[in-house]
Amino acid sequence: MKIEILSVVPASREATWALLMDVPRAASCIPGITEVTPDGEARYQATLRARVGPMGMTLSGTITVLSQDADAGDAHFLVEANDRRVGGGVKTNMSMKVTAKSAGETELEIVADTTFMGRLGELGQPIIRRKARNTLEEFSKNLSKLLASTPE
């Protein structure tokens, strides 16, 4: 399932990029993230609590920074997580691109291509798509709030 979100955040391209590359701080903007800890070079352990339809879950896994190009404002991530209790998991290839709109505004483009496995894959595309889109939109809003409150 592929989801694309385009938003404008109230900060310079440089400040937006710096926050996105600070994975623990950026991940704190994702609803349901309970912890993100470094696990080697460009790799982080993360835990997410979420409810999809009638199913509550705790997904534990990794966020890996596959590539980052500050000059192009482009970064690629791999997110893999499982919930042993529910018997399912997710694998997401995600890219983020930042483009300066003005001195104090940056366009943020997020493209996430997610595969749902096990029982999570049985929930049905409309429910999962709505939850995934809402999560990415909330991430973008929370990122904007964090950037607005951070002096450049």
pLDDT tens column, 87-146:
888 899 999 999 999 999 999 999 999 888 887 777 667 777 888 888 889 999 999 999
pLDDT tens column, 45-71:
999 998 877 778 899 999 999 999 999
The mean per-residue pLDDT over the stretch 18-42 comes to: 93
Q: Is the pTM of this model over 0.85?
A: yes
Query: What architecture does CATH give domain 2-149?
Result: 2-Layer Sandwich (3.30)
Cα separation values, 4 from 39, 43, 57, 114, Å:
28, 24, 24, 11
The domain spans of the chain are: 2-149
